[in-house]
Amino acid sequence: MSAHPVDETHPADELRSVGEPHPVDEKLPFLKMATTGLQHVAAMYAGVVAPPLIVGAAVGLSGSELTFLTGACLFTAGLATFLQTLGFWKIGARLPFVNGVTFAGVAPMTAIVASAHHKSDALPVIYGAVIVAGLLGFIAAPFFSKAVRFFPPVVTGSVITLIGVSLLPVAFGWAQGPDPAAHDYGSGTNLGLAAATLLIVLLLRRFTRGFVKQIAVLLGLVLGTLLAIPFGATDFAPVADADVIGFPTPFHFGAPQFHLAAILSLCVVMVVSMTESTADMLALGEIVDRPSDERTIAAGLRADTLGSALSPLFNGFMCSAFAQNIGLVAMTRIRSRYVVAVGGGFLVLMGLCPTAASLIAVVPRPVLGGAGVVLFGSVAASGIQTLVRAGLDKDNNVLIVAVSLAVGIIPITAPHFYHAFPQTARIVLDSGISTGCLAAVLLNLVFNHLGRDRDAQDVTHPMEAGEELAPAH
């Protein structure tokens, strides 16, 4: 596999004029880069800080230690984003991808905490398992990327649609409030703030132009936060309590420990994460008009896995590409990877300056939920656009889409559907993106590859009556 230097021409760019950079490689003016980069951070902040808060609470960390762990995850997310967007050698997809802590690892990490004899050993055991899983994933990346040939539009469209649909419940949860146990969870105030933020974003997208239109989500978050102040939904305490400077000192919670059971469980998470990242790269490649080929996916997976392997050095967890931000790219049409790299710079600064990190934390969860409806819905809409080009006049493709979407939606509509399965299996089964992706790939093989010569290409719709068989002679 050839190297993929930063200035190398991508095969998809061959038809462009000489000297004209692809929008992915475009460097925008400073103010535009800064504001749109900050918009990416605002869109993914809640997803990054949630895993360390959950795992840290399970370990029993103090408030200051919990703040340290959250800052460490922001810092390592920034480093992983640099690897993905800027890259070096054969590392980095060089697409506008934000990287952060994968939520797929939360359940097995909390299980590791529960099984630890001493809670103080839990984080070192988790870090040891993440390092091993990351290194193994790095080695496996070029082999894993060869699966791209099994991702035609009917598969990628199904997966992209599932990514958006799977993220929408997150936005709906945010819209109700930060704490399901709180008395105001799902209250009219919270839902009203979410609806108001959604309305602000829609109005800005409809009645403004140019730069203002492109940062509509960021402006919606700011205006929604200001609107929440009179209702007491904005908490400025994190800003007052945060330190100005803080650095995630290496192995702050102890040297990594290597336990086989923990390693195996997080290796399974790594496979799930690599599957989802592959789907995300295919989705983003379609959106930015630079289709992700085998080389791009291998480089992107190397960035994910190397970022994961290095993350525990600075007390972070397993990293993965964030699907949340694909919707932002789809909506704004700002495709520059350097914009996301600037967002990675903000993440690093937030990890080094807790006060800066706390400013994003001020945004109320319902306000994030209102913006999330637009962002995540845009991902699903991009998937539908891809499916339109997938040849749905053929019933084989209709069946692939129908079944893969149904399988992928199971964890959303019936969260306890797989409750009787072993915990290890549920790491995969409870990820609708992973199960839907696997179903789409397998069905595409069965219907469009195996016995292909025996199948007619123009066949009836599955809901219509088929042609009568000709009598045998």
pLDDT in tens, 382-437: 778 778 877 777 778 889 999 999 998 998 888 888 888 887 677 667 777 778 88
Q: Residue 263 has which token pair?
A: 């390693």
Closest CA to 66 of 262, 241, 188, 233: 241
Tens-of-pLDDT digits for all 473 residues of the chain? 334 444 444 444 444 555 577 878 878 888 888 888 888 887 777 667 767 866 776 787 766 677 788 888 889 989 989 998 888 888 888 888 888 887 667 767 777 787 777 777 788 988 998 999 999 999 988 888 887 677 777 887 887 788 778 778 878 888 898 778 888 888 888 999 999 999 998 998 888 876 677 677 778 888 998 998 888 877 776 666 666 676 778 888 888 888 887 787 788 778 777 877 887 888 888 888 888 888 888 999 999 899 999 999 988 888 888 776 777 787 778 888 888 898 888 888 888 877 766 666 677 888 888 888 887 787 788 778 778 877 777 778 889 999 999 998 998 888 888 888 887 677 667 777 778 888 888 898 888 877 655 444 444 444 444 444 444 44
CA dist., res. 448 & res. 441, Å (int) = 10
CA distance 41 to 218: 10
Residue 192's contacts (CB-CB under 8 Å, 6 or more residues apart) are none
**At a CB cut-off of 8 Å and minimum separation 6, what does 4 contact?**
87, 89, 90, 92, 94, 295, 296, 299
| CA gap 370, 452 in Å, rounded | 46
Distances (CA, A) of 283 to 162, 228, 382: 11, 34, 8
pLDDT digits (tens, 9 = 90+) for 272-314: 778 778 878 888 888 888 888 888 889 999 998 999 999 999 8
Surface-to-core class of residue 420, CB atoms within 10 Å of its CB (0-12 exposed, 13-18 middle, 19+ buried): exposed
Q: Distance (Å, rounded) from C-alpha 439 to C-alpha 324?
A: 22
Residue 99 pairs in a beta bridge with 321
Q: How far apart are CA 471 and CA 156, in angstroms?
A: 40
Query: Tokens 């904005």 correspond to what residue?
Result: 234
* 440: DSSP letter: H
